[in-house]
Amino acid sequence: MGSLHALDISMMFFAVGTLLVLARLFGEVARHLGQPTIVGEIVAGIVLGPTCLGAIFPAVGHAIFPLSGPVANVREGLSVLAAALFLLMAGLEVDLGSVWRQGRAALSVSVAGMAIPFGVGFGSAWLVPRWLGHQPVTPLFGFALFLGTAMSISALPVIARTLRDLDVFQTDLGMLIVASAVLQDLVGWMIFAIVLGTLGGEGRIFSPGATVAFVLIFAVVMIAGVRRVVDGSLPWIHAHTSWPAGVLAFTLSLALLAAGFTEWIGVHAIFGAFLVGVAIGDSRHLRRRTMAVVDDFVSSFFAPLFFAGIGLKLDFVAHFDLGLVLFVLITASAGKILGSVLGARAGGLGTRESWAVGFGMNARGAMEIILGLSALEARVIDERLFVALVVMAVLTSLASGSLVKNVLRRHTPCRLVDHLPARAFVPDLGDTTRRAAIERLAAALGAASGLNAKEVFAAAWAREELMPTGLGERVATPHARLPGVTRPAVALGVSSRGIDFDAPDGKPAQLIFLVVTGSGDERGHLEILADIARLFRSATLRQAAVAAPSGTELLALLRSGPALLEDGAEGDNRK
Amino acid sequence: MGSLHALDISMMFFAVGTLLVLARLFGEVARHLGQPTIVGEIVAGIVLGPTCLGAIFPAVGHAIFPLSGPVANVREGLSVLAAALFLLMAGLEVDLGSVWRQGRAALSVSVAGMAIPFGVGFGSAWLVPRWLGHQPVTPLFGFALFLGTAMSISALPVIARTLRDLDVFQTDLGMLIVASAVLQDLVGWMIFAIVLGTLGGEGRIFSPGATVAFVLIFAVVMIAGVRRVVDGSLPWIHAHTSWPAGVLAFTLSLALLAAGFTEWIGVHAIFGAFLVGVAIGDSRHLRRRTMAVVDDFVSSFFAPLFFAGIGLKLDFVAHFDLGLVLFVLITASAGKILGSVLGARAGGLGTRESWAVGFGMNARGAMEIILGLSALEARVIDERLFVALVVMAVLTSLASGSLVKNVLRRHTPCRLVDHLPARAFVPDLGDTTRRAAIERLAAALGAASGLNAKEVFAAAWAREELMPTGLGERVATPHARLPGVTRPAVALGVSSRGIDFDAPDGKPAQLIFLVVTGSGDERGHLEILADIARLFRSATLRQAAVAAPSGTELLALLRSGPALLEDGAEGDNRK
């Protein structure tokens, strides 16, 4: 019956399972280091691919991740599907309205921010095609067009996440950066589609001219026609089909059919999926919950498979060419930053904001990698240039956040969950005195984070005697400011009967947070206190925290607090 | 680079997109007819497969759904992945605790409810192997074991849904049925794994004895060991990884690796995924939200692909053998119902409850189909028997709900959303009188559902004059009871300034529901009123309903009310 044998099927499961678990592990490591998850996912693939595993244990690598045959077909099919769904998600985030609202400034940033890096890329391709890896089978014009596009594309999803992290997404500056990125993405993908269209390839059905015509017609139909039809259909779908299965099936199947269509006319499938995302994402009737489901779906399963899958395709060490990497990194960044800054200045922005726009737009992230991979598979570029593009995409994404942060003098607020070690949780302070409670918490914090427990206690108790730290609502926050402490550290003690901290509402404290910060770190101190106040405003979370049996369960609670609250009271968190 | 050509990729996208959209369409039609979605999904596949499309347009069928080659590999890989994820979800729903709590009765129902149909199946296989399609390459003993299992397996997901629909899931009877189905599923899949293990097959790595030993060890390790490790790890995962991506990656990759392992030792991949589901689903720390994400994920994408994919595999008309279908349907149902009723009686249940258990357990649904497909692919059974098993699974699932409903004299309450036609919505009643408002609503209802508008108005106004129907909170429910009306019908009028309906709280009504029911239909009348009161207790929903521009948007609101409310206030339902 089937064309896959049992061994093929088991290898497919091993491959997908291994990719998924390693991508997540490395992704979490990246996140803990303050870097985007995608970096970890790519590294996971490099570890599992010919660069590491394949080089050390070639037999294992070939068995689980073969390069041809039915299992390779399945993995490749999944990977193409994943790329299309990722671009669908990117398209859903596009808000065409914001482009109009930003008007002239967005246009100015987009045009200059694309034209200059495009010119740099296009020019380099003409000047040193051989060194950049131009293949004789590809027309030089197409290669130059591609390199221009690769230099000038931006990564809307990465940019949006950076801006959200820095809390500038909803500001005028944030919306301007997003609007410019949207315009650039639209234009960039159009140009790339046309590049692919103009290249001859095996199994082509249409002439390059017909492909380009189809691309333009398709884009116009999607943005002008389908967008409105979708906006009119969504209420009907919500009214007459089961929720959310109906709207999900509509979104996914429309994206897949459009992807099939664009692939069929001779450009990449992701182009169709992206435009469907734009058409649907623009509707007023799209619900946030629909986006959340697609997001969970794609980010937890398809995106890790895709990005880890890249590392399986080639040996990153063998194809690493330092000169080329530096050249691509420097020309791409210089062109993009310069172009965007000039565009922003011309659009009327101040110096500081213009540099923020430039650094923000320079993140290339997933988009660059998907573009590069498509070009590699269409044989427009070689492995060396592909590796250089991946490295450039990763490094520009890593740098973007901290550069924007510095230039705007923005700061990511400290969160309690990042400064409370699991071992600094004392679930049973019992019925003790204020002094004894602070002493036990200081000892716990000393053991968990290497601070001097005696110093902590002395400072916190001196402060407490000056003025008691009961906040009310059964929360108290004794604290100490110590010289030489570089990072805030918090211990949490629970007393179910409560300990009197002289709170304004007279209630004894059940949750006692001992907060230790550096003497000069006024900001860290206030941010931790604000985070405690914000989180424990919720009575449900307070009760759940008092009942938490261990520090790990407490952290679990804090990290997914909103999700837990949705589940209703604790104890009922099973279906 | 890749082994898939552009044409392959575009056909893959067309195939997946077409399957998804048609599966959903037919699934929705099934749901509107009060039947399980899966029936529609299977029919969609039959329509797209060799039975219909392939018979009428063979060229189109072969291009989009080829039976071999790289595209077929990808589709088959997706389908195996989908089956594993479906079984993972089924496993997550298993609550081992309920089995212990139901104790003797569950054991009695499970044993008798399995033993009798198993005996019937096993016996028939010995008596008429040829007629049942036994293939000489398979040992008769294995074939008989399989047929016994196929007759005795039940479908936990279908049963759980039926019980929830009838609102008996949380009762003792509901928990007993679920617990028995859990036990039967566990035992059934074990036996099936052993059946596959004892059969020789191409590419086998282990001897049948070794496979059976592995299956038993694997099951014990999962249920006894991994289950506890998972319970201990989940809080750590929640505490230290991003939510929900971390826990999803953990669940999915564990399921996929276990699936790969069971496939590798010589039984089907779904067995491993199912047991991982059981091990994880049993943890106290599993959050409802995690299950919801997996559920949305699987039910909206993978399950439709899998069930529609079945219809692509063979011609259901050519392999339809009425005698065999009737034989399978009657022996399977008689054996299962009889066995379960006897077991329930022996376990101490009354007659009526025992029949409810019997009819409930008889649903075979997806489980039977997945079992049959695996057996077909392992060449244990032929196409004729497979078609008979599919038909039996569908018919028993269709019948189960209404049989349990009748025997328990249960009734599914009327819901407003099913009785309010989109055209019976009047968004602009304006600043009119009570009498004029009722007259306009009666006219709208007459036009939308064919009732006599004058009769409706006369009855509703007479009732209104007797006693006004303002409920308070700006809702009024004028109503009429008319002879000859077989189905409740509701019209809704909105008046943003409000019309006085003499409510207890003195506030004029903005939402006026005109409810028409049959003279004798006291229950329908009360249920509709109760549903209105329940829904419009929410101020957010009331405001959104007053602002709804059309009947379609109003229905969209009612059908996904809770999801909308999660989004916060209306107008903010965009990301």
Residue B471 phi, psi (nearest 5): -90, -20
| Angle (deg, nearest 10), helices A245-264 and A208-220 | 150
Q: In chain B, which residue's Cα lies nearest the Cα of A559?
A: B239
Identity of the residue in B241, B285, B559 whose CB atom sits nearest the CB atom of A238? B559
- Tokens at B291, concatenated: 């299950």
Query: Residue A444 half-sphere exposure, CB side, CA atoms within 13 Å?
Result: 27
| Angle (deg, nearest 10), helices A156-165 and A172-198 | 170
Indicate the residue type of B398.
L
Can you spell out the DSSP letters for B423-456? GGEES---S--HHHHHHHHHHHHHHHH---HHHH
B169 and chain A in contact, CB less than 8 A: no
Using the predicted structure, report yes or no on whether residue A567 has a pLDDT greater than 60.
no
A348 to chain B, closest Cα gap in Å: 28
Using the predicted structure, report yes or no on whether residue A318 has a pLDDT greater than 70.
yes
Q: Closest Cα partner for B407 from B206, B162, B218, B90?
A: B162
- The strand pairing partners of A513, in sequence order, are A492
What per-residue confidence (pLDDT) applies to B535?
A: 84
Dihedral-angle region of residue B450 (phi above 0 means left; psi in -120 to 50 means alpha; beta otherwise): left
Q: Characterize A315-337 residue by residue with b for buried, 16 or more Cβ atoms within 10 angstroms of its Cβ, and e for exposed.
A: bbeebebeebbebbbebbbebbb
Q: Is the dihedral of CA B327, B333, B336, B341 positive or negative?
A: negative
What per-residue confidence (pLDDT) applies to B3?
A: 66
B205 to chain A, closest Cα gap in Å: 9
Q: Between chains, do B379 and A202 touch, taking CB under 8 Å as contact?
A: no
CA dist., res. A31 & res. A37, Å (int): 6
Q: Characterize B174-203 residue by residue with b for buried, 16 or more Cβ atoms within 10 angstroms of its Cβ, and e for exposed.
A: bbbbbbbbbbbbbbbbbbbbbbbbbbebee
Interface of B with A in 509-568 (CB under 8 A): 550, 552-557, 559-560, 563-564, 566-567
pLDDT tens digits, one per residue of A434-447: 999 999 999 999 89
Q: Closest Cα partner for A459 from A432, A486, A433, A441?
A: A441
CA dist., res. B316 & res. B164, Å (int): 32
**CB contact at 8 A, B41 and B28:** no
CA dihedral (B152, B155, B158, B164) in degrees, to 10, reads 90
CA dist., res. A107 & res. A184, Å (int): 9
**CB contact at 8 A, A23 and B95:** no
Using the predicted structure, report yes or no on whether residue A574 has a pLDDT greater than 50.
no
Whole-complex ipTM: 0.82
CA dist., res. A524 & res. A518, Å (int): 8
Identity of the residue in B13, B37, B287 whose CB atom sits nearest the CB atom of A257? B13
CA dist., res. B273 & res. B279, Å (int): 10
Long-range CB pairs of B569-574, under 8 A, 24+ apart, other chains included: B569/B540, B569/B543, B570/B540, B570/B543, B570/B544, B573/A284, B573/A285, B573/A286, B573/A287, B573/A288, B574/A284, B574/A286, B574/A288
A253 and chain B in contact, CB less than 8 A: yes
Indicate the residue type of A407.
V
Those residues with Cβ within 8 angstroms of residue A520's Cβ, 6 or more apart along the chain or in another chain:
none
A7 and chain B in contact, CB less than 8 A: yes
What per-residue confidence (pLDDT) applies to B1?
A: 39
Write the CATH number of the domain with boundaries A70-407: 1.20.1530.20
Q: Between chains, do B238 and A559 touch, taking CB under 8 Å as contact?
A: yes
What per-residue confidence (pLDDT) applies to A251?
A: 94
Those residues with Cβ within 8 angstroms of residue B180's Cβ, 6 or more apart along the chain or in another chain:
B102, B106, B109, B110, B113, B154, B340, B343, B357, B361
B4 and chain A in contact, CB less than 8 A: yes
Q: Which residues of A touch B564 (CB under 8 A)?
A: 287
Residue ranges, comma separated, of all CATH 3.40.930.10 domains in chain B are 416-566
What per-residue confidence (pLDDT) applies to B449?
A: 86
Q: Between chains, do A5 and B203 touch, taking CB under 8 Å as contact?
A: yes
Burial of A284: CB neighbours in 10 Å, binned 0-12, 13-18, 19+: exposed
CA distances from B475 to B51, B418, B430, B446 (A): 53, 19, 15, 22
B288 and chain A in contact, CB less than 8 A: yes
Each residue's pLDDT, cut to its tens digit, for chain B (575 residues) gives 356 788 888 999 999 999 999 999 999 998 888 777 888 898 999 999 888 888 888 888 888 888 888 888 898 899 889 989 988 988 888 777 777 777 788 889 989 999 999 999 999 999 998 888 888 878 888 889 889 999 998 877 778 777 777 777 767 788 888 888 878 877 887 788 777 777 655 556 777 778 888 888 998 999 889 999 998 898 888 888 887 888 999 999 999 999 999 888 877 888 899 899 989 988 888 887 788 888 888 888 998 898 898 888 889 999 999 999 999 999 999 999 999 999 999 988 889 989 999 998 998 877 888 888 888 888 889 999 999 999 999 899 888 888 888 888 777 778 888 888 888 888 888 778 899 999 999 999 989 888 899 999 999 999 998 888 988 888 999 999 998 888 899 999 998 888 988 888 888 999 999 999 988 888 888 888 888 888 888 887 888 888 888 888 888 888 766 555 544 333 333 33
At A515 the three-state DSSP class reads strand
CA dist., res. A126 & res. B46, Å (int): 55
A232 and chain B in contact, CB less than 8 A: no
pLDDT tens digits, one per residue of A32-84: 887 778 888 989 999 998 888 888 888 888 888 888 888 888 988 998 899 89
CA dist., res. A305 & res. A21, Å (int): 10
pLDDT tens digits, one per residue of A255-290: 999 999 998 887 788 889 989 998 998 888 888 778
Identity of the residue in A238, A249, A296 whose CB atom sits nearest the CB atom of B556? A238
CA dist., res. B35 & res. A570, Å (int): 35
Identity of the residue in B28, B237, B376 whose CB atom sits nearest the CB atom of A246? B28
- Tokens at B385, concatenated: 């028997």
Residue ranges, comma separated, of all CATH 1.20.1530.20 domains in chain B are 89-407
Burial of B287: CB neighbours in 10 Å, binned 0-12, 13-18, 19+: buried
Identity of the residue in A13, A235, A246 whose CB atom sits nearest the CB atom of B24? A246
Confidence of residue A1 (pLDDT cuts 50, 70, 90): very low
- Tokens at A466, concatenated: 């000056």
Q: Between chains, do A73 and B73 touch, taking CB under 8 Å as contact?
A: yes
Q: Between chains, do A239 and B5 touch, taking CB under 8 Å as contact?
A: no
- Tokens at A538, concatenated: 């919720």
**CB contact at 8 A, B402 and B150:** no
Q: Which residues of A touch B379 (CB under 8 A)?
A: 1
Those residues with Cβ within 8 angstroms of residue B99's Cβ, 6 or more apart along the chain or in another chain:
B106, B179, B182, B183
Interface of A with B in 120-159 (CB under 8 A): none
- The strand pairing partners of B518, in sequence order, are B482
Confidence of residue A571 (pLDDT cuts 50, 70, 90): very low
CA distances from B553 to A317, B482, B560 (A): 56, 29, 11
Residue ranges, comma separated, of all CATH 1.20.1530.20 domains in chain A are 70-407
Q: Which residue has better confidence, A124 or A156? A: A124
CA distances from B437 to B226, B455, B497 (A): 64, 15, 13
Interface of A with B in 397-436 (CB under 8 A): 422
pLDDT tens digits, one per residue of A381-425: 999 999 999 999 989 988 887 888 888 877 777 888 888 888 888
Q: Between chains, do A297 and B297 touch, taking CB under 8 Å as contact?
A: yes
B253 and chain A in contact, CB less than 8 A: yes
Does the domain at A416-566 match CATH 3.40.930.10? Answer given as yes
Q: Which residues of A touch B427 (CB under 8 A)?
A: none
> What is the rounded average pLDDT of the residues A231-245?
86
Secondary structure of B327-356 in the HEC alphabet? HHHHHHHHHHHHHHHHHHHHCCCCHHHHHH
Identity of the residue in A14, A264, A559 whose CB atom sits nearest the CB atom of B260? A14
A150 to chain B, closest Cα gap in Å: 20
Other CB atoms within 10 A of residue A271 CB: 26
Write down the H helix ranges in A314-415: 322-346, 351-361, 365-377, 383-407
Label the pairing between strands B425-426 and B489-499: parallel
CA-based R_g, chain B, Å = 27
End-to-end CA distance of chain A: 38
**CB contact at 8 A, B73 and A73:** yes
The one-character DSSP state at B164 is H
Interface of A with B in 50-89 (CB under 8 A): 68-74, 76-78, 80-81, 84
Burial of B127: CB neighbours in 10 Å, binned 0-12, 13-18, 19+: exposed
Q: Which CATH number is B89-407's, of 1.20.1530.20, 1.10.287.3510, 3.30.230.10, 3.40.1350.10?
A: 1.20.1530.20
B282's enclosing H/E stretch is none
Q: In chain A, which residue's Cα lies nearest the Cα of B268?
A: A6
Q: Which residues of A touch B554 (CB under 8 A)?
A: 239
